[in-house]
Amino acid sequence: MCSATPVPNFVYAILQKKELHCEKHKLKQVIRRKERSIKSVESPIVRNRIQKEITSMETKIHKIDGQINLYK
């Protein structure tokens, strides 16, 4: 049998929350990059595609925010 003490649940919650914050930050960076690239693109088809990608990332960020709020 293992004699290690069990890790409390709040430690897992803290780690999960930190991981979610990192993921949210990465998504925000990608959104900023795509917003910059959308300015240089002239094709409306490509702009719409990029805008859809940005919208889907923003919904992911909202989901992450909801998960982060669970750990408060």
Does residue 22 come out as left (phi exceeding 0), alpha (psi in the -120 to 50 range) or beta? alpha
- CB 34, CB 53: distance < 8 Å: yes
Please report the pLDDT score of residue 2 as a whole number: 58
The tens digit of pLDDT for each residue in 37-70 reads 999 999 999 999 999 999 999 999 999 999 988 8
pTM, full prediction: 0.78
The tens digit of pLDDT for each residue in 4-37 reads 677 788 888 889 999 999 999 999 999 999 999 9
In the numeric block, the tokens 């979610």 are attached to 20
CA distances (Å), origin 7, targets 4, 14, 24, 59: 9, 12, 26, 33
Amino acid at 18: K
Gap between the Cα atoms of 23 and 13, Å rounded: 15
Please report the pLDDT score of residue 3 as a whole number: 62
